Chains A and B, each alone.
Chain A
Amino acid sequence: MRLQDGAELTGLPAVEAKNVTKTFGAGPDAVVALDNVSVTIGQNEFFTLLGPSGCGKTTLLRLTAGFEMPTAGSILLEGHEVAHLPPFKRPVNTVFQSYALFPHLTVAQNIGFGLKMLGRKRKVIDEAVTEMLKLVRMEPMRNRKVHQLSGGQQQRVALARALAPQPKVLLLDEPLSALDLKLRKEMQIELKRLQHETGITFIFVTHDQEEALTMSDRVAVMSRGKILQIGTPTEIYEHPVDRFVADFIGETNFIEAEVTQRIGNKGEIRLPSGIEVPRELGQHVAVGGKVTLAIRPERIDLVRPGADCHLAGKVENIVYFGTDTHFHIDLDSGGDVTVRVQNRRGHQDVLKMGDAVGLRIAPEAMQVLKD
């Protein structure tokens, strides 16, 4: 079967949301957390829901776990409708943002909790617990109480607890947000490894776009209850479909351009400097209309002012970042852009503030946005 972005899937999708709407409250105070959202998540995928707070990503997660029921639409797990099922009837487990480890139980008892509720035999539970402890490398902590563990250790126990019952899908609700930077980076690698080893579908919720890009197989960018774009990290980064996605992920420059020609999908656009560039255009733009281009700072080359460049301007500010240097350029045609140059040969003191420069951009790097 095919997914929205055209990727191929084998077998039934692990999770599918069809036209899901979730409204909280009623009347004029009602909040629409999810607005007719549809997404298909495949088996063995590391899928991330990315967006600012309030975008609905946590709501979608909770709907999948069973803590909320959709106001409209359906939730399917491997093809079965589950929206009406309570959480303890769904083969889905959650790693909570606050970990929610049971304070009155030991680490081993926490990890074995799910299996105990399912009625497994003592021996089976013990073996599973041992295996899980090995998986998250917490064997010596087996009989500790939760409050004796550090934040990172609690996180790993929460993971082990959710993985022990071998769910079809693992939901992670911003699990790394409470950790310091170094620990976060370690856990990101750890989570990726776990997903590969267990083969379980991970649905990961975060507002950190860097996290999303580094860990995911595919990302869904959400805002205000809607999914704006689903794609691999590369697709999201290099071909954002609209302004929000372009702005939310990494840094972007926005340039206005005018459509001068159009034949079918292809056409020409005119940059503010007057240069014309051939680009693919979607249905919605007509000749004479304006489009916004999204251009990543690292895709712009700085060249000597003169011909053979797409835009021209003056250096307004230079910021040194160690690995690279950012140049803020005031465009002759108005507005400004940021250009990122990697310091491959160390810091080069070639340009100074006020210097005139030319900007060369590969046409493929000019992403035409939907709005």
Chain B
Amino acid sequence: MATETADTPSAPQPVSTASAVSSAAAASDAIERRAVVKRWLLSAPALVVIIGCGLMPLLIIFAYSWTKPAEYAGVIWHFQPDAWINVLFQEDLFSDALSPNWAYYSIYLRSILIALQTTMLALIIGFPTAYFIATREERSRNAWLFLITIPFWSNLLIRIYAIMMIIRDEGYLNHALLAIGAIDQPLPIIFTNYALSYGLIYAYLPLMVLPLYASLEKLDFRLVEAGYDLYASRFKVLWHVIIPLVKPGIVAGSILVFIPAIGDYIIAQILGGGKRMMLGNLIAQQFGTARNWPQGSALALTLMAVVMLALVFYATKSQRKRAA
């Protein structure tokens, strides 16, 4: 039965206790260090690509934001903080006095308000939906989740295009309404704030439903039973028992909707038609017709700062939950 097996280990080593301790510890350290190096090497390509083409560009536009705009495109490498000042203030052409930059403010306000509005509506629609799915039987649950998720992964552009086709002046909705005589003039739905809101909710609703569902699925309904047992009506149970227990899901879903909504560019362009400018459109404009790259850079970084703030807020909230 004796055949060769693995390589037989090398010659025996001295077995005094002291050297045994140090050699054992040293050997395991060395192996651990080699393992860490190997992991860094494995991650290297992904890191190089993302740092090189993801983070570097951000650093560059940060640098650009402090320069002067060039004639057509690009910048002149001359220090000029105007772009940053213009984020909040505008200079009077003649007197150099600073006054609030109302034009920009309205855009900021619209962006934030619409993003908040989108989040709220997504919550109002998404919460019951997620709740309903979470309380279905095991088998139909997967079917429901599938139904909700597939549109989300389908092309966003096409879905917005579909909405546009329906609500524009020559669109299906107006055409049908005109045909049955309910209205004489096409309803101006497209290019309004409503259209924009509708588009945003339509696009990002699944991002609210899924985290909510994840939280609701883990809900212990015995607590809800206890609530009913203690004389709470259905509404009170919802408000005082269910919602507090599902808070992590609510926060996660809200962040996931708020962030793309506030940074939106394409939906505002198609459904807003450039008349309802969001921050995203303003930024793109700086790199297009306005030819003010430093300004665009400064605004872009401001947007990024707002988004980062929201993320940090979320991260600290969930940390505190874990600590509690």
B residues less than 8 Å from A72 (CB atoms): 17, 20-21, 24-25
8 Å CB contact of A80 from B10, B24, B31: B10
Indicate whether A84 reaches chain B with its CB closer than 8 angstroms: yes
A342→B5 CA distance, assembly (Å): 51
A19 with B20: CB separation less than 8 A? yes
Beta-carbon contacts under 8 Å, B16-74 to A: 17, 20-21, 23-25, 27-28, 31
B27 with A88: CB separation less than 8 A? no
B residues less than 8 Å from A18 (CB atoms): 15, 20
Interface residues on A, range: 20 to 34
B25 with A71: CB separation less than 8 A? yes
Q: 1/0 per residue A115-133: CB within 8 Å of B?
A: 0001000000000000000
B6 with A83: CB separation less than 8 A? no
B residues less than 8 Å from A90 (CB atoms): 6, 9
8 Å CB contact of B23 from A79, A84, A91: A84
Q: Which residue of A lies closest to B20 (CB)?
A: A74
A residues less than 8 Å from B27 (CB atoms): 69, 83-84
A88→B9 CA distance, assembly (Å): 11
8 Å CB contact of B9 from A89, A118, A166, A167: A89
B24 with A83: CB separation less than 8 A? yes
Indicate whether B229 reaches chain A with its CB closer than 8 angstroms: no
A271→B9 CA distance, assembly (Å): 56
A166 with B15: CB separation less than 8 A? no
Indicate whether B13 reaches chain A with its CB closer than 8 angstroms: yes
Indicate whether B316 reaches chain A with its CB closer than 8 angstroms: no
A70 with B6: CB separation less than 8 A? no
A165→B10 CA distance, assembly (Å): 20
B residues less than 8 Å from A74 (CB atoms): 13, 15, 20, 24
Interface residues on B, range: 20 to 34
A300→B2 CA distance, assembly (Å): 50
A72→B1 CA distance, assembly (Å): 35
Indicate whether A77 reaches chain B with its CB closer than 8 angstroms: yes
Q: Which residue of B lies closest to A84 (CB)?
A: B27
Indicate whether B12 reaches chain A with its CB closer than 8 angstroms: yes
B5 with A81: CB separation less than 8 A? no
A71→B2 CA distance, assembly (Å): 34
A90→B12 CA distance, assembly (Å): 14
Indicate whether B11 reaches chain A with its CB closer than 8 angstroms: yes
B15 with A81: CB separation less than 8 A? yes
8 Å CB contact of B6 from A19, A69, A89, A198: A89
Q: What's the minimum C-beta distance from A54 to chain B, rounded to whole angstroms?
A: 22
Q: What's the minimum C-beta distance from B3 to chain A, rounded to whole angstroms?
A: 6
Indicate whether A168 reaches chain B with its CB closer than 8 angstroms: yes
Q: What's the minimum C-beta distance from A79 to chain B, rounded to whole angstroms?
A: 6
Given A76-B12, A81-B9, A85-B9, also A19-B17 (CB < 8 A): yes
A283→B7 CA distance, assembly (Å): 48
Indicate whether A257 reaches chain B with its CB closer than 8 angstroms: no
- When A and B form their complex, which 4 residue pairs have the shortest distance between CB atoms, in order from nearest? A84-B27, A72-B21, A69-B28, A80-B9
Starting from the known contacts A18-B15, A79-B12, 18 additional A-B residue pairs (CB-CB under 8 Å) come to A19-B20, A71-B25, A73-B20, A74-B20, A80-B10, A81-B15, A82-B9, A84-B23, A84-B24, A88-B6, A89-B7, A91-B6, A118-B5, A165-B6, A166-B2, A168-B5, A198-B1, A199-B1
Interchain Cβ contacts under 8 Å between A and B, 6 examples? A18-B20, A73-B24, A81-B9, A88-B6, A90-B6, A166-B1
